[in-house]
Structure 1
Amino acid sequence: MRETTTVRRRARLRPVRPAGWWFDLLLLTALVGLTVALSADQLFGIDRAVADWADAHRPTAARWTAVILNYLGQGTPLTLIAAGLGVLLAVRLRSVRPVLPPVVAFALTYLTIGPLKVWTARPAPSASTKEPFLPPAQTLPLFQDELPVRFAQSYPSGHVANAIVWYGVIALLLAPLLRSFGRQMPRRVVTVVRVVPPAVVLCTTTYLGWHWLTDSVAGLLLGLLLDRLLHRVPWDDVPLPRRLRERDRPFISHP
Structure 2
Amino acid sequence: MTAYQNQSRRATPDLIDVFIIILLAGAIDIFIFTIATQFVARNTFQQLPSFLTDAYKAVWASVVSGTAGVGLVIVKSLRSTRIRRPNYLLWVLATAGTSVVAIVLVAILAQILNPRPALTVPPGVALISSGMSAPSTFEFKPLPGAPGAEFDLVGTFAVSSNEVTGELKSGSFTIPNGLKYAPQKISEAAFRVCYLHSVYGADQMDLFPPIAKSENAIPLNIAPEMGKAYTIPPGKFKFQLPSDINPQRAWLCSALNTDFGYIPMQ
Q: Could you tell me the TM-score, scaled by structure 1's length? A: 0.24
More helix by proportion, 1 or 2? 1
Structure in which a larger fraction of residues adopt strand? 2
Higher relative contact order (CA 8 A, sep 6+): 1
Higher Rg of the two aligned structures? 2
Question: What is the TM-score with the length of structure 2 in the denominator?
Answer: 0.23
